[in-house]
Amino acid sequence: MSPILSVRNLSRNFGAIKAVDNVSFDLAKGELLALIGP
């Protein structure tokens, strides 16, 4: 089954703070994903 959401190499900065660096994931139908950080 192919994913309903595919994320590759996601990076996010808030000023000088690197919140997410090079994150990749697939989300299939019916799955739940939580990205939790400090």
This model's pTM is above 0.85: no
How far is residue 14's CA from residue 12's CA, in Å, rounded to a whole number?
A: 7
Asked if pLDDT for residue 38 goes beyond 80, the answer is no
Identify the residue whose tokens are 């089954």.
Answer: 1
Q: For tokens 């994320």, what's the residue?
A: 7
pLDDT band at 37 (very low <50, low <70, confident <90, very high): confident
pLDDT of residue 29: 96
Q: Express each pLDDT in 3-34 by its tens digit.
A: 999 999 999 999 999 999 999 999 999 999 99
The size of the chain, in residues, is: 38
Which of 36, 29, 19 shows the shortest CA–CA distance to 6? Answer: 29
pLDDT of residue 35 exceeding 80, the answer is yes
